[in-house]
Structure 1
Amino acid sequence: MARVCIIGAGAAGLCAARHILVESCVSQVDVLEQAGQLGGTWVYTENVGYDDFGLPIHTSMYKSLRTNLPKEIMGFPDFPVPESEKSYLPAKDMLAFLQLYADKHGVTPHIKFKHHVQQVMPKMGPKGELWEVTYKNMITLESTTKEYDYVVICNGHYNTPFIPSIPGLKKFEGDVMHSHDYRVPEIFTGKKVLVIGAGPSGMDIALEVTSVSPRIILSHHLKEQPRTVFPDNLVQKPDVIKLEGRKAFFQDGTVEEIDVVFLCTGYLYNFPFLHESCGIVVEDNCVEPLYKHLVNINHPSMCFIGVPYYVCAFSMFDLQVRYYVRSMNGTFSLPTREQMVEHWEEEKKNRAARGYTKRQAHMMGPDQEKYYASLADEASTASLPSVLTKIREESSIRFLHNLKHYRQDIYKIIDDDTYEIISNGKREILC
């Protein structure tokens, strides 16, 4: 009977526990969570920097955040987000949904809150490989080391800021801040703000800050220029080439006087608790060696849920977990180490040939349906319906070109391939 340690009680960790708990081959499931509540990145706190225990604040949630994808594709395959009039929900509703999911499936009693994972290390036991997991109870300050047969890593990847290498950034005379520490727009009142990055957070926050700032410069290198009509106090610029004093110099030769450099530049994968003997390396934001972005090739009794991005996240977590559980219970066998290495190397070559950089090793986007199918086929389990990726793509386009109003759209899934959208009072069926 297997003992399983799940690290993290965000959406991925809850999903992992939900499926593993019902397996007859499993005797024990511990979910280790550093925070005092479940939900991971969906938990809002006004605190930034470090928590009461001196640990880095995990969440990057800002106060006004609403989902940038419709709820119709944000649930789990067997547990959709409850019906409501709106498709785009505030973060507190998603947090309530995750609590409901955990309670419904009996996950909550298995979570050890305020438990910080200090180290994960493989060791040989009498019947094969085991995992030694050391964690600290942040209330009693006692450290415990326990042995497990499997470790499932679900600590998310929206908590360690990526700071780009911009000449002059370290000597910039104004303020420098990352979106990880953003909560409310008032901190920028009266300041000229350079926002670097036009991902979902960059665009959203830049628009929000126009309400308090005299001038916002949104710097990005999107291949397709957004058609969103921004307020007059927001201008778009290409990449920053350097910073000097309080000036920003751009690729188009223009110069702007600014007070704040606000980095909306994404995050880094970070697994500080993994001992080097786990055999996992993160280089240029590529986590390797992983088979199907999921299984630790060097130690297949460890897996990582949620590494790919630009995906239908909760549904993908569910599929990844179902895949891995079926390898645990013997429904299918993982390939040999040599076969997994060959697959990983071949995938990297293929992605490089199609223009992906190493830093984009886990970016799915147009590759996501193929990825879902590959997991489902190998594990002989249900894949994800194509309607999910269709809605995701449609929503992403509308986000880019109608940022002010796209969250007013209402979606309805009709079947596995077809959906309905109501926008500006007009109803349209798409497939």
Structure 2
Amino acid sequence: MAAPGKLRVAVIGAGAAGLCAARHVAARPESFAPPVVFEASGRIGGTWVYTEETGQEPDGLPVHSSMYRDLRTNLPKEVMAFPDFPFAPSLPSFLHHSDVLAYLESYADHFHLRQHVRLWWRVEAVVCPAKGGWDLTAHWAQDRRVQATERFDAVFVCSGHYSEPFVPPIPGLETFPGRLLHSHAYRSPEPFAGHTVVLLGAGPSGVDLALQLAPVARRVTLSHRQAPVAGLPGSVLQLAPVVAIAGDMVQFGDGTMQRADTLIFCTGYRYHFPFLPVAHLGLQITEQAVVPLYRHLLSPRCPRLFFIGLCQQICPFPHFHCQLLFCLAVLQGTCHLPPVAEMQAAAEAELQQHLTAKGSLKHVHQLGAQQWGYCQELAQLGGFEPLPPMLRELYEATRASRAQDASNYRSLNYRVLSSEAWELVGAEGGQ
């Protein structure tokens, strides 16, 4: 039980967002009881925990991580770090996924967070009883018969959104006789040696897999609706989106037909929160959106349940940091939310604006260039230090470098000089 006057907070997930939540709750003992972090797996790190398993773990749980063996970050460590915990300066700017996991483990150890994490506890339900607060029910992942229900004053949902693959409907897909998978289940290029591979989608994973598969596959085709990706090997063919499949023949939007023996969907992930009382929250949770939310964070009807990290096209760890400090200011009472009706109107107006512009819920949480104003506003309202200007400048420089040369931008290394300045310090291999 929490001490009188202290709020008891549950955190769902011990990935980057969940660890950040635990770190900042634990740092405020005057307002909060020690946080309780529920982690369904046997270790911290969330999506950064690599496993060669796909589909299901040996214990029957679905594989959470989408890491592949040779993944390197597409952002430099100089902008990836939590603002209060830099990466080791000896590391290159673009990290192997194992370095990011080691960083999160060091973060947990530095701030003494492991004591707050309950490993192997999977959240089944979060409900709001008539008395207020939240009743959270979880079971022990290794024996579902062992379960417990506890009362919390607030809940942070930090379970991520890179574990439930999204596969768009394509006419004739069921007739395809070859190998079909989502990038979530991709681990290494060797099993695809000699294959004719079509990659659907040119986001970060689609481009990465094209680079990895090009040296070993018979042919790699990257199917997408964007401008041509610059810097891919000349052997990678870029075509319009796939519109139909008939057996092993793939039809593209420009009328091109091509045989394939492997289709890999690099088409993103679904939002999936089966433990939440959607109707009570007043929310619609679809494959592509959680709406209407006030500031992408909370349901106006239930302002003590927070979604951390729903947004896309962001600088993730600093983004989590800002969201969490704002939410804690709300809980501590130093930042006052508007009345429920006003928050509801603001959330619905923002949603309607998106629907008018885009025509669907797709990308409703995609911030892109808007992320900086968003984080700045959270800092102003929450009364905490805003993100340094250097962060945006280096993030945008990296984005431009990646757009110019998808194959080589990770060879660059950077150094932070101050909160406002950074420099390029050379490239791997002397480039």
TM-score of the superposed pair, with normalisation by structure 2: 0.94
CA distance in 2, matches of 1:319, 1:229: 35
Length, aligned pairs only? 422
* Structure-2 change in CA distance of 1:136 and 1:416 (3 Å): same
Deviations 1:225-261 (A, max 9, x none): 22214142x2110111111110111122211010011
SS of residue in 1 equivalent to 2:343: helix
> Which amino acid is 1:322 matched to?
L
Aligned to 1:138: 141
Runs of 4+ in structure 1 off by over 3 angstroms are 349-357, 422-425
CA distance in 1, matches of 2:72, 2:150: 39
SS of residue in 2 equivalent to 1:377: helix
Q: Given the alignment of the two structures, is residue 97 of structure 1 paired with residue 103 of structure 2, yes or no?
A: yes
Structure 1 residue 274 displacement after superposition: 1.0
- Which residue, 408, 412, 416 being the options, matches 2:419? 416
Gaps of 5+ in 1: none
Aligned to 1:280: 283
Deviations 1:144-169 (A, max 9, x none): 11111111000001000011121111
Aligned to 1:258: 260
SS of residue in 2 equivalent to 1:291: coil
Structure 1 residue 33 displacement after superposition: 0.2
Structure 1 residue 355 displacement after superposition: 4.3
Contact 2:291 2:351 in 1 (8 A): no
Percent of counterpart pairs with the same letter? 37
Gaps of 5+ in 2: 1-5
CA distance in 1, matches of 2:426, 2:225: 29
Contact 1:290 1:297 in 2 (8 A): yes
- Which residue, 24, 35, 44 being the options, matches 1:19? 24
CA distance in 1, matches of 2:245, 2:299: 41
CA distance in 2, matches of 1:415, 1:351: 37
- Which residue, 382, 386, 390 being the options, matches 1:383? 386
Contact 2:249 2:257 in 1 (8 A): yes
Structure 1 residue 336 displacement after superposition: 1.1
Aligned to 2:405: 402
- Which residue, 15, 26, 30 being the options, matches 1:10? 15
Contact 1:41 1:60 in 2 (8 A): yes
CA distance in 1, matches of 2:213, 2:168: 22
The range that moved more, 405-414 or 274-283, is: 274-283
Contact 1:121 1:131 in 2 (8 A): yes
Aligned to 2:170: 166
CA distance in 2, matches of 1:161, 1:213: 24
Contact 2:25 2:34 in 1 (8 A): no
Q: Given the alignment of the two structures, is residue 306 of structure 1 paired with residue 309 of structure 2, yes or no?
A: yes
CA distance in 2, matches of 1:172, 1:320: 43
Structure 1 residue 387 displacement after superposition: 1.9
Structure 1 residue 400 displacement after superposition: 2.9
Aligned to 1:108: 114
SS of residue in 1 equivalent to 2:362: helix
Deviations 1:7-46 (A, max 9, x none): 0000000000000112212124110001110000100000
CA distance in 1, matches of 2:354, 2:419: 28
The range that moved more, 7-16 or 163-172, is: 163-172
SS of residue in 1 equivalent to 2:376: helix
- Which residue, 293, 296, 299 being the options, matches 1:293? 296
Structure 1 residue 140 displacement after superposition: 4.4
Q: Given the alignment of the two structures, is residue 240 of structure 1 paired with residue 258 of structure 2, yes or no?
A: no
CA distance in 2, matches of 1:196, 1:397: 23
